Amino acid sequence: MYNVWLGLNILWETALLAWLPIAVAVGLWALLMGVALRRGGSNWRGGLRVAALAALGVAVVAFFVLPAATQSALAEMGYWVDWAALAGFALACAVLAAAYAWPIGALACRKPGAT
């Protein structure tokens, strides 16, 4: 239990250091969602397809780029925890990409007959 608490504490302290970029990112996402929700012709189902494709692309790129970004390499990963962490980070990048791509895709994929 101590390890979980320590991990959460480290995450919280890191978030406190980066509160401004986090606040800007959340504000931008809220703005995108607000614009997409106000426009009646937004195609959320079509936007979901765009978000899924963006998430898949970002996940694949992040999986191969993240080790180099941390001055490591895929060849140096010999323990299953390393692979699980890398997959988790790539998945987190994919979720963020999908969160931003969904309202943008919903705006771009207008409903048929909408003005």
pLDDT of amino acid 45: 87
Strand partners, 42: 110
Domain range summary for the chain, segments of one domain joined by +: 2-108
**pLDDT tens digits, one per residue of 80-103:** 888 998 999 999 999 999 999 999
**pLDDT tens digits, one per residue of 17-74:** 988 998 999 999 999 999 888 887 678 888 899 999 999 999 999 999 999 888 888 8
Note whether 12 and 83 are within 8 A (CB): no
For residues 29 and 48, what is the distance between their CA atoms, to the nearest angstrom?
A: 15
- Nearest residue to 49 via CA among 91, 93, 108, 89: 108
Q: For the chain, what's the residue count?
A: 115
pTM of the model: 0.77
H-only helix segments in 1-115: 2-17, 19-38, 44-69, 80-108
